[in-house]
Amino acid sequence: MRALIISADNFEDSELLVPYYRLLEEGIPVDVASPARGTIKGKHGYEVRVDKTLAEVVPDDYTVLILPGGKAPAVIRKEAAALAICRHFFGHNKPVAAICHGPQTLITAGLLKGRRATCYQSVAAEMKEAGALYEDSEVVVDGNLVTSRQPSDIPAFCREMMKKLKG
């Protein structure tokens, strides 16, 4: 079992770091992928080492995909490799956990039509336009997909993500 987090600069620090450490706590290795190697810096100043570029990711190597929010998804959703990774996870019914603005990447990948999901309130209209069945809840689980709205929802987000991983 291995986890993949996709993000870029200006991520929401808690939405990347809390799931990252929660997975490590369970003994699940985590790779962070971004458009370029080096480090990415969160909105509140935390830096995270990038393990792989998006182009280097082999989706079959991972069990779960995490998409944190903040402003990073505005960059990630423009990356063809990120969209292909998301489509692979959905196509193989692997768990995908997206919080806050994270679902924007799934919207761009065309993966939310007819799916129950939530997101940060400013993304809700875009999510609805993409055909998602938007719910204003701390966490929404629809099959392999786990979504949450904001940092205060992280406990529910991680709880449901871990349930997906533990089967």
102: pLDDT strictly greater than 90: yes
pLDDT band at 1 (very low <50, low <70, confident <90, very high): very high
Among the listed residues 44, 88, 92, 101, the single catalytic one is 101
Half-sphere exposure at residue 44, Cβ-oriented, CA atoms within 13 angstroms: 9
pLDDT band at 113 (very low <50, low <70, confident <90, very high): very high
- DSSP string of 13-57, one letter each residue: HHHHHHHHHHHHHTT--EEEEESSSEEEE-TTS-EEEE-EEGGG-
101-123: b (≥16 Cβ within 10 Å) or e:
bbbbbbbbbebbeebbbbbbeeb
pTM over 0.75: yes
At residue 167, the pLDDT reads 81
d(CA 163, CA 101): 22
36: pLDDT strictly greater than 90: yes
At residue 143, the pLDDT reads 97
Tell me if residue 101 is catalytic. Answer: yes
What does DSSP say about strands 145-148 and 139-142: parallel, antiparallel, or unpaired? antiparallel
Return the CATH class of domain 3-166: alpha beta
**Where do the domains of the chain lie?**
3-166
